[in-house]
Structure 1
Amino acid sequence: MPFDLLVTRWPGPTSVCLLLVRCRLPASSKQQATTWHAQKALLSFARICLARVQDRCTLAIMQLPAWLKTSRIASLVVTIEFLLIGAAVNVLEIIAFVLVRPFSVHLFRRVNAFFVYLHWSVIPWLIENWCDLECRVYGDFEEARGTVHRKKAMVVLNHKGDCDWMLGFCLCDRLAALSNAKCLMKSFVKYLPPIGVQFYFSDFAFLTRSWSRDCDHLTAMAKTWSSYRSPFALCVFAEGTRYTKEKHEANLIYARENGLPELKHLLLPRTKGFTFLMKQLKDSIDVLYDITIVCRGLIPSAMDILKGRKIKADFFMRKIPVEDVPIGSDEETAKWLVDLYKSKDELLEHHSQNDAFPGPECFAPRRIYPRLIVFIWSVLMFVPFAAYTTHLIAIEAYFTLGIIAVFLLAAEAAMRLIVKVALANKPKRK
């Protein structure tokens, strides 16, 4: 007898969900198979229902008026949620560090990667949904999407604005590699709550731009990364600083005096750190990816993202075999990196003239997990908060409500201060 399980339509303005499972089974295995198919169908139905709810919530967020997104209340809600999620993840990391790491460093790294994704996924959600990211991806993305999250990779990105690393996080999430991402960051970042703790436990490298100190630190971090059994994506902004008009003019003068190519859209890379890392990690890295990022219009700052201003960004991704990077001498590796940036500059020139990178656009869908995680965190935090606030209003506990309001405003002001300090901190090159 055939077994038919039909899950009818899920109401909504979009497509119809229709699941039909049909199979012919011998009588001896019919009950077991029936249970399995029923569970599978119900799970699929639940996922589709949840996706529909999230799609409607996302659409509602995208359609919020600009004045509301830029208001103090909206930034307060986003800030509080970001800080509270980060604080909760910090607690989980510390517990894992105390209970797990003494027995297994490898297991701690895997557990920590899961924990940090519970917070880092907020960043793709902010950019893709809160800021309504309009994203186009070109190059080798579709090939990388199925493999990069299973490899140890080095990723070279250009540094145009303050939040390039956040755009890089979005691309890493679409590659399913966000939880394994690592970066070279400025040393002061490790003191920024709550991400500083997460970056520390995730083995980020914190640089002072003084080679005498950074050399020892990079040597230690290279040994740490080489000991990884799990995959990771090491993101490197080889310029070492964000692009500005003044820096670009000084860069052109330096290029003319030293016989280097004059780049129109980028700064020349600082080759010493990259050369050092390639030699240290030559036996640990499986593949190298070159990613060129360009924003169409607004180059977002952290405050732009917090206020939900629309972002349009294009990515060009190239896969480069590690064997193609010469490491025989520092001069060869440095020349290879400069030539790579020259080709990146040519890509950006092509984009400036054609409003697109060369080649066909790749299919790069958003993942459901950032929306799912933010949805769950929001329910866990704001439903009890709303219930407690309602209770305080009912019993006329206005003093307690005032304390809560002051605390929330102080947290939002602290977040703005952190952003301003981060933007103002520009260590000098040594």
Structure 2
Amino acid sequence: MEVSRPLKPDDKLKHRPLTPFRIMRGLTCLVVFLLTAFIFLVYFGPVAAVILRLFSLHYCRKTTAFLFGLWLALWPFLFEKINKTKVVFSGDSVPSTERVLLIANHRTEVDWMYLWDLALRKGCLGHIKYILKSSLMKLPVFGWGFHILEFISVERKWETDEPVLREMLSTFKNPQDPLWLALFPEGTDFTEEKCRRSQDFAAKAGLPVLSNVLLPKTKGFCLCLEDLRHTLDAVYDVSIAYKHQCPFFLDNVFGVDPSEVHIHVRRIPVEEIPISEDEATAWLIDTFKHKDQLLSDFKSQGHFPNQGTEAELSTLNCFLNFTVVISLTAIFTYLTYSFNLFRIYVGLACLYLAFATYFNIRPMPVQGFHSLFYRKEMKRE
């Protein structure tokens, strides 16, 4: 097991040069990702997440997770195989079949994308759902994907967000549906200015003064835990750190940063987390205090404890997945440009996806079909 050398204050930032080759490769990857996302959404989105959803929410989610998991796997392929970013996992080795609430620190705008690297290794890539700010739902094409994958958008105003959270969480309670619900309790990405404001507030409130994370907002966490506790197996406390420099989205696209991503996972069985809201609040704050110390140790030592809990991604599997996605995209692109019927379908699908995402519309199963499918599932149990 390789042990990284400590980070020193005088270390220079390891920033790969932005060469013309990297620019062309990055733009090509971005175009490919947008085109494949568009084709998958317009052709598979209405079928998997609308028509099938009318019959069975469970099978709708299984189908959606499989199809869009193929597309999501392009991102770890970009990070680890094309950009050659080293992703190092440490801490607890977690199983593949658990329903979990995942809490993570928020260093930069792309933290959530690196959670896909962990989910892919656990076979849960299509089952990971994020609680994210509503502005991200307005991104072209990607916002449609967030809606189809049932990400929960919030305004960061509790009076507005609480009923939205409760409504969405009520649909996630079936223990037969795999679930990784990812939450960033800090509520925003980390900056020095935000850290100073958080420290000032903590000092006045008699709470821990943290240096590497912001003081967590606790209401969303407590609500998720309250509503899902009886169907969850564990909470994963994930700490993310970057060697030398935090990346931004375009750094990932062009492959100039980061050189290394370190992801530490601590698994806490859900029964070990207090039930009362006050005690759960104190537990979360104490967890972020522990996370703050863990990140301080990373700065001084250059690594998290117990490295090497996950193997590298298989290059062959990544390439095969890429080939499948590109082949499906090529076939449906040809059909779209060759036949009027397919062009009409794409136009209608775009109208529906734009409308459904803007108004946050998700059809619920027709009761008769839902009961029929539910009985079949119970018989198989």
Structure-to-structure mapping, 1:139-178, within 5 angstroms:
139-141=91-93, 144=94, 147-148=95-96, 150-178=97-125
1:181 to 120, 128, 133: 128
For residue 384 of structure 1, report the CA deviation from its aligned partner. Answer: 11
Structure 1 runs not aligned, ≥5 long = 1-63, 386-430
Aligned match for 1:83, one of 15, 25, 34: 34
Asked if the contact 2:131–2:153 (Cα under 8 Å) also holds between the matched residues in 1, the reply is: yes
Alignment partner for residue 58 of structure 2, among 100, 103, 106? 106
C-alpha distance in 1, partners of 2:332/2:20?
24
Whole-angstrom CA distance in 2 between matches of 1:293 and 1:203: 24
Percent identity over the alignment?
30
How much has 1:80 moved relative to structure 2? 1.4
Cα deviation code 1:156-210 (max 9, x no counterpart): 1110001000111112112221111011011122222322222212221100011
Aligned to 1:322, which of 270, 274, 287?
270
Whole-Å Cα distance in 2 between the matches of residues 237 and 384 of structure 1?
A: 37
**Structure-1 separation of matches of 2:146 and 2:205:** 37
Offset, 1:349: 1.1
CA contact (8 A) 1:287 1:322 kept: yes
Alignment partner, residue 72 of structure 2: 120
SS in 1 for 2:156: coil
Distance in 2 of aligned mates of 1:77 and 1:160: 27
* C-alpha contact (below 8 Å) 1:69/1:307 kept by paired residues: no
Aligned with residue 235 of structure 2, among 277, 283, 288: 288
> If you compute each CA radius of gyration, which structure gives the higher value, 1 or 2?
1
Structure 1 residues 177-216: aligned runs within 5 Å: 177-216=124-163
Structure 2: give runs of 5+ residues left out of the alignment: 1-15, 334-381
1:93·1:115 contact (CA, 8 Å) conserved in 2? no
Q: Distance in 1 between matches of 2:331 and 2:177?
A: 37
- Offset of 1:269 from its aligned partner? 0.5
- The separation in 1 between residues aligned to 2:160 and 2:185, in whole angstroms, is 18
Which position in structure 1 is the counterpart of 2:357? none
For 2:255, what is the secondary structure of its paired residue? coil
Aligned residue for 1:8? none
Alignment equivalent of 2:248, drawn from 285, 301, 310: 301
CA RMSD in angstroms, aligned pairs only: 2.2
Q: How many residues align?
A: 316
Matches within 5 A, 1:31-110: 67-71=19-23, 73-91=24-42, 92-110=44-62
Q: Relative to structure 1, is the Cα distance of residues 98 and 236 closer, same or farther in structure 2, using a 3 angstrom cutoff?
A: closer
Distance 1:159 1:152 in 2: 22
Alpha-carbon separation, structure 1, partners of 2:202 and 2:116: 31
Alpha-carbon distance in 2 for matches of 1:97, 1:379 = 22
Specify the code of the residue in structure 1 equivalent to 2:266: R
Q: 3-state DSSP class of the match of 1:136?
A: strand
CA distance change for structure 1 residues 188 and 324 in 2, over 3 Å: closer, same or farther?
same
Q: Where does residue 342 of structure 2 map in the other structure?
A: none
CA contact (8 A) 1:154 1:288 kept: yes
Match in the other structure for 1:36: none
Structure number with greater CO (CA < 8 Å, separation at least 6) is 2
Tell me the TM-score normalised to structure 2 length: 0.78
C-alpha deviation, 1:66, in angstroms? 5.4
* Cα separation, 2, equivalents of 1:199 and 1:252: 33
TM-score of the pair, normalised by structure 1: 0.69
